[in-house]
Every structure is written in C-alpha cells, then in structure tokens.
C-alpha cells in the first residue's frame, strides 16, 4: 500500500503545481510543510512527479491520474513495487523493457507517439532527429565531469579507489549515474568540474582560435558561475579574462568557484548587456567574446521536464529578441579579427541558426564554424555553438 500512497501524494502535488517555480523548489516547499514523509518516501514521490512531466505534451487528453499511471508504467514499470497502481491488462504481457511497455501502452492509447512528447518539431534546429530527441525525454540524463588539464591520472585513481561506477567518454570527460553525490568523493572545481558533455564540447570550437604565445583578451559576457570561463582558461591558457552577468548572486558564486579553481587575475562587473554599455565599458575591446546567452534552455529540459510540459511557443520569440539585443551590444566590443563564440542550450533554430543568420546579415562578421551538440543521443544536454570572426 505504500506505493499506492506515494502515487496519491504525487497526484496531489501534480494537481497543485502549475509551473510557477522549478519543480525541485515546489517539492522542497511541499516536503517542508508535510514533514511526515521520510527520505525514502520523498525519493519515490519525487520520482513519480518527474515521470509525469517526462511525458511532455503527450496524452494531455487523459486525466492526471491516468497520465501518471502511464508515465510510471513507462519509466518505472519494471520495478515490482509500482505494480499495485497499474491496470491488470497492462501486466498481462512481458513488460520488462521500456520498448515493450511502450508497445503495450500504444495499444491502449493509439495517440501515444514519441513526437507527441515534443510537438514543436518544425521549430527544431537542423539535424535534430525528432524521434530520438523526443524519446530521450524518457531517460534520466547523466551527470558529467570534466577533468582539468594534467589531473587525469589523479581523478581516475580516486574514482577507482572509491569504486565509483563511471564511463570515460574521452580523455577528460567522465559520465556518472544520476543521483550520485560526487562532491563527497572529489573536491570539485580544483581538479575537475561538473560540466555537461555538450558544454565540454564547446572546447572543440575554442580549439579553432589561433592562440600562440600572445595572451588573448576574453570577455565572458553572460558568465553565470563561470563554467565556460573555466573551460576557456583550461583550453587557451594564456588569457586576460573579464566576466560579467546581470545577476550579482551568480557572480558571487563565480568568485567562490574561481578561488577554488585557482583563477586569480580577472576583471568582473555586473551588467545588463542587452542595454547600451556604459562609456567605460564601451572603451574595452576583446579578442574573444563568449556570449552563452539566456535562452529557452530547451536542450536541458530532460533535466527539468516540467519546462517541457509548461513551455509555450511564444517564449522562443521572446528569447530570440533578447539574444538579438545582447549581440547588438557586445559585437562592437570585438577587436578587428576578434572572435565571437555564440552559445545556447536551445534546440530551436530561431535561437540558433537563425540568430547566426541575423548576426551575419547585420554585422561585419564571418562564420568560422557552427556545431549542434546532440546530447540527446547520450543522456546529455543538447547545445548549439557558433564561432564567428570580425572582418
């Protein structure tokens, strides 16, 4: 009966949640108010809620209770304990794999199609395989580590010593299972950083920038807590780094992270770069500007599937307008021959290829390389990056 009770609680939460804040915050508030749930209860209820949103926009014609059963059967039907909540007829054939459970449900609900999970197919960037991309929402993404230069042997030795289950994707990228507390095993930021596989692959575009002995002036204009800044430091090494963001709190996190990462000499300022820069900032010119712009985040929605469920198409346009404003302000700060690295974690062409077209049409820049990082193929985020050079 415990699992029936988890089901009922998850259903109450889903009925009360309307996407007003991240699901993780909503659950935290709920559990703070309902202290009777112990840690394993919280884990199971959370798992059920996330399963519901992983279905995205599929089967919205069902009531929430039936939709939650469908989601739980698909994602966790192989776990004996949940069987109490499923209709008998779903359990009459073999259902040990996701593919078998999908087939059983398709017989019951012919509208269940992978592309119904993510219906904005025509808005997707080129080369995204729509079925694979939609199907990936049913899998929990992995956590990825990037090993910092020269620390490879040390990190691998710790992982082996501590008997951590991991997959090594390349010399510096490690995939871990979701939910493991890696910060208890490895000192993060010093010798390795948590960074999604696709985000790490942005380094491939940085490699295209000629960097001999000359130190490059780099501005990470939407730096957040500095993930790309640490990557650029580790990739190009000799740089004079400037970081900025619109949020003070995130710059505070960046300062703490940089201190651990051993990054000392850098400039930092708070700025809304969608608005005209101050005269002092207008006097600064850079060899490389990293614009990891605010975006729909649609490439990361398998980590936050509630966003997939609540997102409306008109928001894409709003993000694209903000992105245009940001590039308008920062591009004039490029030195002649300088590079703009434009990055999103979006899967929408309006935020990706069409933004690059906008830049090429309106500014004296040439496209060096653009790349879609198809993280959905490997339980990672999907990202887009384009490297442009000022003529």
Of the pair 49, 277, the CB lying nearest ligand SAM is at 277
Minimum CB separation from ligand SAM for residue 303, in Å? Answer: 13
CA distance readout (Å), 201 to 5, 104, 197 = 43, 38, 6
Of the pair 71, 385, the CB lying nearest ligand SAM is at 385
Write out the binding residues for ligand SAM, residues 214-243 only, by CB under 6 A.
222-225, 227-228
Confirm or deny that 212 is annotated as ligand binding.
Answer: no
Write out the binding residues for ligand SAM, residues 237-276 only, by CB under 6 A.
245-247, 250, 272-274
Tokens of 207: 């490699």
> Rounded to 10 degrees, what is the CA torsion of 291, 302, 204, 322?
-10
Minimum CB separation from ligand SAM for residue 371, in Å? Answer: 16
Among left, alpha and beta (phi > 0; psi -120 to 50; other), residue 344 is beta
Burial of 288 (0-12, 13-18, 19+ CB in 10 A): buried
Confirm or deny that 234 is annotated as ligand binding.
Answer: no
Grouping H, G, I as helix, E, B as strand and the rest as coil, residue 342 is: strand
Of the pair 216, 327, the CB lying nearest ligand SAM is at 327
Write out the binding residues for ligand SAM, residues 42-61 only, by CB under 6 A.
none
How far apart, in whole angstroms, are the C-alpha atoms of residue 318 and residue 86? 41
Confirm or deny that 96 is annotated as ligand binding.
Answer: no
Write out the binding residues for ligand SAM, residues 287-326 only, by CB under 6 A.
292, 294
Contact 307, 137 (CB under 8 A): no
Beta strands 383-390; 192-194: pairing state: unpaired
Of the pair 9, 329, the CB lying nearest ligand SAM is at 329
By beta carbon distance, the residue nearest ligand SAM is 227
> Catalytic pick from 173, 221, 295, 345?
345
Of the pair 119, 294, the CB lying nearest ligand SAM is at 294
Beta bridge partners of 267: 242
Minimum CB separation from ligand SAM for residue 16, in Å? Answer: 29
First-to-last CA distance in the chain?
68
Minimum CB separation from ligand SAM for residue 216, in Å? Answer: 17
Beta strands 192-194; 143-147: pairing state: antiparallel
Number of H helices, E strands in the chain: 15, 11
**What is the rounded radius of gyration, in angstroms, for the C-alpha atoms of the chain?**
23
Of the pair 9, 235, the CB lying nearest ligand SAM is at 235
How far apart, in whole angstroms, are the C-alpha atoms of residue 215 and residue 252? 26
Minimum CB separation from ligand SAM for residue 227, in Å? Answer: 3
Site for ligand SAM contains 328 (CB under 6 A): no
Minimum CB separation from ligand SAM for residue 157, in Å? Answer: 28
Cβ neighbours of residue 320 closer than 8 Å, sequence gap 6 or more: 350, 351, 354, 355
Contact 63, 71 (CB under 8 A): no
- By CB under 6 A, the count of residues binding ligand SAM is 15
How far apart, in whole angstroms, are the C-alpha atoms of residue 146 and residue 144? 7
Residue in this structure with the two tokens 């996330």, named with its chain if needed? 50
Minimum CB separation from ligand SAM for residue 316, in Å? Answer: 15
Of the pair 72, 193, the CB lying nearest ligand SAM is at 193
Write out the binding residues for ligand SAM, residues 174-213 only, by CB under 6 A.
none
**Catalytic-residue membership of 345:** yes
275 φ, ψ (degrees, to nearest 5)? -115, 160
Q: Extract the annotated binding site.
A: 245, 272, 292
* Residues near ligand SAM (CB under 6 A): 222-225, 227-228, 245-247, 250, 272-274, 292, 294
Q: Extract the annotated binding site for S-adenosyl-L-methionine.
A: 245, 272, 292
Q: Looking at the annotation, which residues are catalytic? A: 345
């Amino acid at each position: 009966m415990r699992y029936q009770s988890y089901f009922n609680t998850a259903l109450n939460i889903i009925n009360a949640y309307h996407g007003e804040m991240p699901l993780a915050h909503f659950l935290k508030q709920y559990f703070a108010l309902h202290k009777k749930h112990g840690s394993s209860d919280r884990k199971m209820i959370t798992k059920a809620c996330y399963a519901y949103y992983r279905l995205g926009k599929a089967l919205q014609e069902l009531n929430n209770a039936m939709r939650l059963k469908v989601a739980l059967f698909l994602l966790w039907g192989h776990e004996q304990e949940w069987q109490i909540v499923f209709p008998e007829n779903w359990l009459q054939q073999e259902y040990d794999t996701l593919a078998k459970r999908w087939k059983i449900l398709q017989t019951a609900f012919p509208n269940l199609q992978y592309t119904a999970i993510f219906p904005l197919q025509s808005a997707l960037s080129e080369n995204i395989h729509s079925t694979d991309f939609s199907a990936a929402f049913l899998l929990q993404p992995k956590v990825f580590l990037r090993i910092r230069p020269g620390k490879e042997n040390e990190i691998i030795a710790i992982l082996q010593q501590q008997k951590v289950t991991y997959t090594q994707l390349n010399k510096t990228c490690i995939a871990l299972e979701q939910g493991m507390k890696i910060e208890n095993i490895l000192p993060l930021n010093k010798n390795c950083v948590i960074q999604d596989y696709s985000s790490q692959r942005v380094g491939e575009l940085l490699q295209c920038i000629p960097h001999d002995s000359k130190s490059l002036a780099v501005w990470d204009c939407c730096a957040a807590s500095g993930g790309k800044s640490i990557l650029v430091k580790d990739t190009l090494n000799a740089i004079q780094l400037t970081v900025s963001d619109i949020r003070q709190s995130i710059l505070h996190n960046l300062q703490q992270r940089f201190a651990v990462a051993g990054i000392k000499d850098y400039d930092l300022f708070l700025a809304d770069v969608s608005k005209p820069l101050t005269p002092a900032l207008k006097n600064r010119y850079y060899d490389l500007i990293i614009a990891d712009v605010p975006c729909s985040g649609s490439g990361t929605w398998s980590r936050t599937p509630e966003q997939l469920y609540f997102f409306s198409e008109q928001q894409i346009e709003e993000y694209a307008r903000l992105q245009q404003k940001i590039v308008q302000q920062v591009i004039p700060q490029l030195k002649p021959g300088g590079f703009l690295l434009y990055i999103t974690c979006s899967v929408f062409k309006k935020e990706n290829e069409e933004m690059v077209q906008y830049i090429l049409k309106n500014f004296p820049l040439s496209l060096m390389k653009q790349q879609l990082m198809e993280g959905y193929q490997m339980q990672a985020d999907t990202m887009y990056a384009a490297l442009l050079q000022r003529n």
